[in-house]
Amino acid sequence: MSEKAFKSGFISIIGKPNVGKSTLMNALVGEKLSIITNKAQTTRHRIFGILTTEEFQMIYSDTPGVIEASYKLQESMMKFVKSSLEDADLILLVMELGEKEVNMPILEEALKSNTPTLLVINKSDQSKGSQAHDKEQFWREKYPEVEIHTVSALEKTNTDALFERIVGLLPYHPPYFPADTLTDKTERFFASEILREKIFLNYKQEIPYSCEVVIESFKEEETIIRIGALIYVERNTQKGILIGKGGQSLKKVGTEARLDMEDFFQKKVHLEIFVKVEKDWRKADRSLKQFGYLN
C-alpha cells in the first residue's frame, strides 16, 4: 500500500447526552474504551479511539453530550465539544429514535459546517412498527442534503454499513499515530473511568455528579497492578453516603471496579480507595484546573 493511497482522519461523535455516542464509538472501534452508563454526562472528556488497518486509520473522539452550560463544569465540557468540531474531518451527529428537533446551536452549527456530517439515528432496536422508517423520512425532509444512517449501536445493526461509509469519506492522508496506538489516554485514565462508571451505577441522584476520581498511584508489578484512587466529593454528607453503613457501599463499588480493571488490564489488581471532601469543586476554577477540565 503506497503512502498516497492511505486514508486517515478525525471523526467527531457528537449529540445530546445518553443517545449512545460511547456505545457507537465502541461498536466502531471494537473495544470497550469509553465507559457506558444510562445516566447523562458520564463522558466528561474527549476520548480518542483509534483504529488502524493497512489501508486506513480512524481517529474517533467521543465528546461529552451537548447540554446547556449552567455550571462552570458544563462550560468547560462545551469547549471540548467545540474543539472537537474544529479538528474533525467527519462528524457523526447521533440522535436517538425519539428525538424530534435539533435545537441546540452547536448541533445546528455542525450541520451547517463544511465538514461532512452524517446523521446517525441510533437505537433502531427500540423501533415500533414503521417508527424507524418514518423517522428517517422526517429527517430527510427537514435536512435533504444530509446523509442519514439508522443503526442500533447496542446490537450492531447497520453499523457495518456506517463503518464502510466512514472509510469512504476519510481523506487521503498518512497515519497520524503509530499503528499500535489504541487511544491517546493513559492506563490511569481508564482506571479512573472504570471507577467512575461504578460510582454512576451504584448511587442515586446527585452523588455521581458531585464526585471526581483521581488516580493517585498506579504501580505495575510483575503479577499485580497496585492502584490508589481518591474520590473527591463536595460535602461531608456525600462522603457519608458514598462510604455507606460500615463501609459497605464503597466496598461494593471497589470490588466491582477492581474486577473490571482486572478484565481491562488482564492482570490482578489491588485497588485502594480514599474519599476526600473538596467544597464546591464543580464551581471552583482551581479545582477544575486540577482535574484537567481547564487549560
Q: Which is nearer to Mg ion, 49 or 238 (CB)?
A: 49
Q: What is d(CA 66, CA 104) in angstroms, rounded to the nearest whole number?
A: 8
Give 65's DSSP letter. Answer: P
Q: Which is nearer to ligand GDP, 18 or 290 (CB)?
A: 18
CB of 168 to ligand GDP, least distance (A): 23
Bridge partner list, 250: none
Residue 123 binds ligand GDP, judged by CB under 6 A: yes
Q: What is the CA radius of gyration of the chain?
A: 20
SS (H, E, C) 147-215: EEEECECCCCECHHHHHHHHHHHCCECCCCCCCCCCCCCCHHHHHHHHHHHHHHHHCCCCCHHHCEEEE
Which of Mg ion, ligand GDP, none does residue 125 bind to, with CB < 5 to 8 Å depending on kind?
ligand GDP
Choose the one of Mg ion, ligand GDP, none that binds residue 194, judging by a C-beta under 5 to 8 angstroms depending on kind: none
Main-chain dihedrals φ then ψ at residue 269, nearest 5 degrees = -125, 135
Tell me how many residues contact ligand GDP (CB under 6 A): 20
Positions in 4-33 near ligand GDP (CB under 6 A): 15, 17-23
106 makes contact with ligand GDP (CB under 6 A): no
Distance of closest approach, residue 34 Cβ to Mg ion, in angstroms: 6
User: Per-residue b/e over 256-267, b at no fewer than 16 CB within 10 Å?
Assistant: bbbebbeebbee
Three-state secondary-structure class, residue 91: strand
Nearer Cβ to ligand GDP, position 6 or 60? 60
Instruction: Name the grid cell of 54.
Output: 493497512
Window contacting ligand GDP (CB under 6 A); options: 148-156, 171-179, 205-213, 222-230: 148-156
Nearer to ligand GDP, 8 or 76 (CB): 76
Which residues of the chain form contacts with ligand GDP (CB under 6 A)? 15, 17-23, 36-38, 43, 65, 122-123, 125-126, 152-154
